């Protein structure tokens, strides 16, 4: 127990004599020099200095980094003492990923701290070249690893952004429109795969319930090709709509698509198909007992 305590005390003394002591004594100057370096490389900035968010991030990171250095000399940065440092960098990296920064611009937040720290260490340990060399090497390794951590966190954040944008595009590409009372239309554009079919089905079924619709028009004018898989996806959507009490009409059957369906032997039995959305709407109006009549223009002078 005493040997362990002695080793721990020795480590603490070494930390207090090296980088931890430098950060404690010169933290203000290091922060000033660091924010100056960030100003030179920041993506959008003004000559007057870094923005408040960047300055606050730098101050928070430096405080967490100094505390971690004081409590731990683990170069792998794996201990609980480094949790605040990792959390700060993870949040910063995600924010920059969503803001459109590049990976290098994000990692530079950490790498730009090297020069101010090196300068402070050289001044503090000028009389001890060996200790200076050891401290510079340790700091360099730590900041390199933290910079790589930034890139990893940035990548995860960017993947989240891409996934969210992908989901938003899928939602936008499957709008359900109420054409008339009790009549819905779902214009499909692009490839209809399994993932998108699920979204189409959910959107349509929710709209059928919300609008109390009895007829739904699936318009495939914007679908480039219809193969067996696409036809199966359409039939699944039709079957699901029927279970909800709505009949489906498929419109946008172009000559090329009709020929393809015949050649593939795809059966659309029981499903009404129309060449145009206008034709499908006319059929839907008849099925719902509604009609649209052309207004007779009033005679001039009558």
Q: Do the strands 247-251 and 215-222 form a parallel or antiparallel pair, or are they unpaired?
A: parallel
Length of the chain: 302
Question: What is the pLDDT confidence band of residue 216, given thresholds at 50, 70 and 90?
Answer: very high
Structure tokens at 265: 């032997």
pLDDT at 75: 66
Tell me the percentage of the chain whose pLDDT exceeds 90: 35
For residues 93 and 302, what is the distance between their CA atoms, to the nearest angstrom?
Answer: 74
Ramachandran assignment for 9, one of left (phi > 0), alpha (psi -120 to 50 degrees), beta (any other): alpha
Confidence at residue 12, expressed as pLDDT on a 0 to 100 scale: 40
55 in helix, strand or coil? helix
Give the whole-angstrom CA distance, residue 227 versus residue 262.
10
Task: Name the DSSP letter for residue 247.
Answer: E
pLDDT tens for each residue of 168-199: 666 666 789 999 999 999 998 887 777 788 88
Q: Please, where in the chain does CATH 3.30.750.24 lie?
A: 177-287
- pLDDT bracket for residue 14 (50, 70, 90): very low
CA distances from 228 to 22, 106, 272 (A): 70, 47, 18
> Quick one: average pLDDT of 73-93?
84
pLDDT (0 to 100) of residue 262:
87
With residue 286 as reference, give the H or E element that holds it. helix 277-287
pTM of the model: 0.56
Token pair 């250095």 is found at 69
**How does pLDDT run across 227-244, given as a tens digit for each residue?**
888 888 888 899 999 999
- Is the model more confident about 147 or about 2? 147
CA separation for the pair 198, 222 (Å, rounded)? 18
Q: Which CATH superfamily is domain 177-287 in?
A: STAS domain (3.30.750.24)
Per CATH, which fold does 2-168 belong to? Globin-like (1.10.490)
Q: Is the pLDDT of residue 74 over 70?
A: no
pLDDT over threshold 80, residue 6: no
d(CA 171, CA 123): 59
- Inform me whether the pLDDT recorded for 17 exceeds 60: no
* Residues 211, 178 contacting (CB under 8 angstroms): yes
Q: Where in the chain is the domain with CATH 1.10.490?
A: 2-168
Element spanning 288, H or E: none
249: helix, strand or coil: strand
Residue of 119, 139, 144 lying closest to 15 (CA atoms): 139
The mean predicted confidence, pLDDT, of the chain is 83
Comparing 21-30, 43-52, 155-164, 293-302, which segment has the lowest mean pLDDT? 43-52
* DSSP states along 202-226: HHHHHHHHHHT-SEEEEEEEE-S--
């Amino acid at each position: 127990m005493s040997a362990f305590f002695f080793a721990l005390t020795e480590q603490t003394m070494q930390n207090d004599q090296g980088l931890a002591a430098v950060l404690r004594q010169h933290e203000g100057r290091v922060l000033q020099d660091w924010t100056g370096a960030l100003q030179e490389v920041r993506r959008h900035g003004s000559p007057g200095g870094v923005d408040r968010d960047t300055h606050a991030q730098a101050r928070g990171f430096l405080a967490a980094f100094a505390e971690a250095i004081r409590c731990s000399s683990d170069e792998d940065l794996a201990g609980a003492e480094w949790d605040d440092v990792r959390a700060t960098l993870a949040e910063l990296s995600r924010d920059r990923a969503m803001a459109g920064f590049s990976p290098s611009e994000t990692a530079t937040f950490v790498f730009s701290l090297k020069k101010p720290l090196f300068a402070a260490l050289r001044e503090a340990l000028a009389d001890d070249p060996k200790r200076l060399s050891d401290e510079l090497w340790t700091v360099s390794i730590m900041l390199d690893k933290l910079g790589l951590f930034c890139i990893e966190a940035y990548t995860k954040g960017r993947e989240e952004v891409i996934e969210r944008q992908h989901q938003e595009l899928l939602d936008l590409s499957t709008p359900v429109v109420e054409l008339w009372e009790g009549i819905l239309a779902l214009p499909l554009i692009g490839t209809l795969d399994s993932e998108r079919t699920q979204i189409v089905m959910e959107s349509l079924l929710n709209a059928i319930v919300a609008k109390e619709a009895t007829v739904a028009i699936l318009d495939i004018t914007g679908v480039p090709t219809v193969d067996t898989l696409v036809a199966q996806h359409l039939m699944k959507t039709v079957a699901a709509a029927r279970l909800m009490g709505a009949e489906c009409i498929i419109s946008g059957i172009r000559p090329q698509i009709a020929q393809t369906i015949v050649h593939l032997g795809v059966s659309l039995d029981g499903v009404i198909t129309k060449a145009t959305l206008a034709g499908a709407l006319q059929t839907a109006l008849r099925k719902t007992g509604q009609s649209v009549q052309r207004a007779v223009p009033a005679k001039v002078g009558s």
